[in-house]
Amino acid sequence: MRPHLGTPRRTLDVGSADAPSVGWMAGEQQHVSLDLLPEGLVPGQGVCGSATDLPFADETFDVVSAFDVVEHCADDARAIAELARVLTPDGRMLLSVPAYQWAWSDHDVQAGHHRRYTRPALTRLVEDGGMRVVRATYAFSGVFPLFVAERLKRRVAPPPPGDTRLPQVSARVDRVLMGLCAADARVLRRRDLPYGSSVLLVAVKPAGPDRA
């Protein structure tokens, strides 16, 4: 997604204030983080609020990002509409969501998800919100067979109720998994991936007569 960041004056990241997933967006622009919870928000930069009722004026930000956020919103169409509302004309929307409803498990319930997506479904949702999708791809294809195996294991032998621990792996396995993800990243610079455990999407808010 980095090539789509450009040189914005203002950026908004929704929902990942307590995570390192947006460190690559750092720059000289004014950056605002929004989250429902105050933990992880930086004073003077962080704002408490909801993705479905953003406390900002229309056309405020040149880039808005929401990584693994939209699936937490009961009304995902309203969330997309709000993200689009605060974008300037020609502004960019950067999204990631979990893939495939068939992969639904107790982990999704514990995480507060409402749904999982396919690439066409997310594309349709964003286009219905008046945005123009410029790229949509699956991600984490290299580790996808392990993801499928883990989801099957959860169905056959689900963890005890309330057990929210993530699977533990050795340092050697961790290096292998990170290597597979790095290979994915190199491929994504040139082409889309046909399957994976997440969907990544970039869209632009139309300007002029094409605006919805």
Over residues 3-25, the pLDDT tens digits come to: 999 999 999 999 876 666 788 88
φ and ψ at residue 170, rounded to 5 degrees: -75, 165
CATH node for 2-205: 3.40.50.150
Q: Report the C-alpha gap between 77 and 83 in whole angstroms.
A: 10
What is the residue-averaged pLDDT of the chain?
91
Q: Report the C-alpha gap between 193 and 137 in whole angstroms.
A: 6
Q: Report the C-alpha gap between 75 and 78 in whole angstroms.
A: 5
Contact 189, 138 (CB under 8 A): no
pTM of the full predicted structure? Answer: 0.91
> If you average pLDDT over residues 32-53, what whole number do you get?
86
Tally of CB atoms within 10 A around 22: 18
- CA within 13 Å, CB half, 120: 0
Q: Report the C-alpha gap between 179 and 192 in whole angstroms.
A: 18
Tell me the pLDDT band of 212, cut-offs 50, 70 and 90. very low
Q: Which position has the token pair 């689900």?
A: 158
